[in-house]
């Protein structure tokens, strides 16, 4: 029943990137997915007889991919496979299942916030037994394996009915199709005061959550509507569609502009929110007030104790390096450590496992806690709702209070998407080469005080990660960071992160572009963005 078939080596997921992401057409090539899945399993030790969690964000090719993953997993000795019904599992829900049921790991089919459909992207990532993204050591081993692999093992069996709940024996193992929402909803109920949130929603508070036709629809309907009593029209685009309805499921101010417009309109909802393709990101816009992800992290960390799951306080706060320093001020006030990590959730895993950090976040709209080992979009929205219910203030008032107390970190990220890789690499290399000479130099009246390429020493496992982003710190305050994206599927994306701290409440109400105008201009000049990329302006600003 188990077949061993020949395959051809290829270059799989590059270490340092979150999963293998390619165009659907690439994944549809014969043996492409098989090759990668077998390469992962070849690098695992001790999986025999163990449990594997499998699910995805419902995008095009999700169902086909799941059949392949399951059959290869069984042929490689896994004893039990837990699958979300319909092939659906959000990334945080999969992380929870791995932890709750003591699984050996999980395979999540998703290209996260990248577009889907036959001409869109597909992706696959492996999560380890702590529920978090595979550590660098494993992704490096898998990468090497993809270049050497010659054969894969697969069970010769009929397809599984993914829509029928229940257990069934298949070949040497057991398949269980489970409800994708049940366990996740229980986890959320254990962390938040559902009675209080229900009270808020019944008091006339209006919530609009856009699932963007991606994975969070069923989760949002169950939690917001069925359990918390929000009106049915609180959830927009609540059915997962293979092409996400043609939309781009990245909940930023460009793709979710309709939510921004709604929140800014007179008599708009009190809270507009959204999540991405696989449910790990969050967008928070209060009536008249967009909350930057960096501010959201700081506010959630400072108020987490208002939710029952965090009543004991937070052990520490972690943020990725490009995320603004707003959370640093909160950690300082709380008297706990602040950890600054490279971009990507996997770096938070060790801190969470060791109990060093409780709340983590990234500027890219990812926030989470030690309840799972992934960022979690609905969790962030529920924590906001819990805080709003306890404090009885609007989102805008909470943000204003926060700035008055801690100061405001003006912040923006400017993305130059799909530029030529050669130019982007040359830009970063030129900056890197110039690092020793930059400190002391002045540009347009601003002096560079410090320039470096961010490196991280993991305090838990002692590993070192280098070249994680060029940082320029200015004597007058303010920071510019340059790094290349690791999640795009065509060309390169240059991300430029700009930040300036403003302690004076009288100066905290400028719009971001105005407050950062000088740094924005400098960011283009210092790196020679137009010269290296041919671009005069970014494609997305968030």
Residues that bind ligand VG1 (CB under 6 A): 18, 112-113, 276, 280-281, 320, 343-345, 362, 364, 366, 485-487, 495
Q: Which is nearer to Co ion, 211 or 338 (CB)?
A: 211
Cβ nearer to ligand VG1, comparing 485 with 508: 485
Taking CA atoms, 181 is separated from 250, 370, 484, 534, in Å, by 22, 19, 35, 46
Question: Which stretch, 156-164, 272-280, 405-413, 489-497, contacts Co ion (CB under 5 A)?
Answer: 272-280
Beta strand 207-210 with 105-109 is unpaired
Segments of 7-62 assigned E as strands:
20-23, 51-56
Nearer to ligand VG1, 200 or 424 (CB): 424
Q: Compare residues 112 and 292 and give the one whose CB is closer to Co ion.
A: 112
Among 193, 210, 276, 328, binds Co ion (CB under 5 A): 276
Catalytic option among 90, 95, 110, 112: 112
**Phi/psi at 376 (nearest 5 deg)?**
-145, 105
- Work out how close the CB of 277 gets to Co ion at its nearest, in angstroms, rounded to a whole number: 6
Q: Indicate which of ligand VG1, Co ion, none lies near residue 486 (CB less than 5 to 8 Å, by partner kind).
A: ligand VG1
3-state secondary structure string across 91-120: HHHHHHHHHHCCCCEEEEECCCCCCCCCCC
Q: Under rule CB under 5 A, which residues in 278-317 are in contact with Co ion?
A: 278, 280
234 annotated active-site: no
> Do the bridges between strand 235-236 and strand 207-210 make them parallel or antiparallel, or are there none, so unpaired?
parallel
Applying the rule CB under 5 A, the residues between 332 and 351 that interact with Co ion are: none
81 forms beta bridges with 52, 175
Closer residue to ligand VG1 in complex, CB, 276/370: 276
Q: Using CB under 5 A, which residues numbered 106 to 165 contact Co ion?
A: 112
User: Among all residues, whose Cβ is closest to ligand VG1?
Assistant: 112
Whichever of 146 and 275 has its CB closer to ligand VG1, that residue is: 275
Could you tell me where the DSSP H helices lie in 203-304? 216-220, 257-264, 293-303
Q: Which does 409 bind (CB under 5 to 8 A by kind): Co ion, ligand VG1, none?
A: none
For tokens 């009536």, name the residue. Answer: 287
DSSP character for 172?
Answer: T
Write down the least CB distance from residue 371 to ligand VG1, Å. Answer: 17
CA distance 133 to 98: 12
Q: Which of 372, 335, 9, 16 has its CA nearest to residue 187?
A: 372
SS3 373: coil
Shortest Cβ distance from residue 281 to Co ion (Å)? Answer: 5
Residue 17 CB, nearest approach to ligand VG1 (Å): 7
CA 338 – CA 223 distance, rounded (Å): 32
**Chosen from Co ion, ligand VG1, none, partner binding at 533 (C-beta under 5 to 8 Å by type):** none
Judged by the rule CB under 5 A, the positions of this chain that interact with Co ion are 112, 276, 278, 280
Catalytic residue numbers?
112
């Amino acid at each position: 029943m188990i077949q061993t078939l020949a395959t051809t080596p290829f270059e799989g997921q590059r270490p340092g990137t979150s999963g293998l992401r390619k165009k659907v057409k690439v994944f549809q090539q014969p043996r492409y997915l098989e090759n990668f899945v077998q390469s992962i399993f070849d690098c695992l030790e001790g999986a025999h007889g163990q449990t594997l969690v499998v699910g995805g964000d419902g995008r095009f090719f999700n169902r086909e991919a799941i059949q392949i993953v399951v059959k290869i997993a069984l042929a490689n000795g896994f004893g039990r496979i837990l699958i979300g019904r319909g092939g659906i599992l959000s990334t945080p829900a999969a992380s929870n299942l791995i932890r709750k049921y003591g699984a050996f790991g999980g395979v999540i089919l998703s290209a996260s916030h990248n577009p889907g459909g036959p001409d869109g992207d597909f992706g696959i990532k492996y999560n380890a037994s702590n529920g978090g993204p595979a550590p660098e050591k494993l992704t490096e081993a898998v990468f090497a394996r993809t270049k050497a692999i010659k054969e894969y093992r697969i069970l010769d069996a009929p397809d599984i009915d993914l829509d029928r709940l229940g257990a069934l024996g298949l070949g040497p193992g057991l398949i269980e199709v489970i409800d994708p929402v049940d366990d996740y909803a229980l986890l959320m109920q254990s962390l938040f005061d559902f009675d209080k949130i229900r009270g808020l929603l019944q008091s006339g508070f209006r919530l609009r959550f856009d699932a963007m036709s991606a994975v969070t629809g069923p989760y949002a309907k169950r939690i917001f509507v069925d359990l918390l009593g929000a009106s049915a029209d609180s959830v927009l685009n609540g059915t997962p569609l293979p092409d996400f309805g043609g939309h781009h499921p990245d909940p930023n101010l460009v793709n979710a502009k309709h939510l921004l417009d709604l929140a800014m309109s007179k008599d708009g909802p009190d809270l507009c929110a959204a999540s991405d393709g696989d449910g790990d990101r969050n967008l928070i816009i209060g009536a008249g007030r967009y909350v930057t992800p960096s501010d959201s992290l700081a506010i959630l960390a400072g108020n987490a104790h208002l939710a029952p799951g965090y009543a004991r306080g937070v052990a520490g706060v972690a943020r990725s390096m490009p995320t603004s320093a707003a959370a640093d001020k909160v950690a300082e006030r709380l008297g706990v450590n602040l950890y600054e990590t490279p971009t990507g959730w996997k770096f938070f895993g060790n801190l969470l496992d060791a109990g060093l950090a409780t709340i983590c976040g990234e500027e890219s709209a990812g926030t989470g806690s030690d309840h799972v080992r992934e960022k979690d979009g609905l969790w962030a929205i529920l924590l906001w709702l819990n805080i709003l219910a306890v404090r009885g203030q609007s989102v805008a008032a909470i943000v204003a209070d926060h700035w008055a107390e801690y100061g405001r970190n003006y912040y923006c990220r400017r993305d130059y998407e799909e530029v030529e890789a050669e130019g982007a690499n040359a830009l970063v290399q030129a900056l890197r080469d110039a690092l020793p000479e930059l400190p002391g130099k002045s540009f347009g009246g601003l002096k560079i005080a410090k320039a470096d390429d961010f490196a991280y020493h993991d305090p838990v496992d002692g590993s070192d990660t280098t070249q994680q982003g060029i940082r320029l710190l200015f004597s007058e305050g303010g920071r510019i960071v340059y790094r290349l994206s690791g999640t795009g599927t065509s060309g390169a994306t240059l991300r430029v992160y700009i930040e300036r701290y403003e302690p004076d409440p009288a100066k905290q109400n400028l719009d971001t572009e105005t407050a950062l105008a000088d740094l924005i201009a400098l960011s283009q000049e210092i790196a020679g963005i137009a010269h290296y990329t041919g671009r005069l302006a970014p494609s997305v600003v968030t």
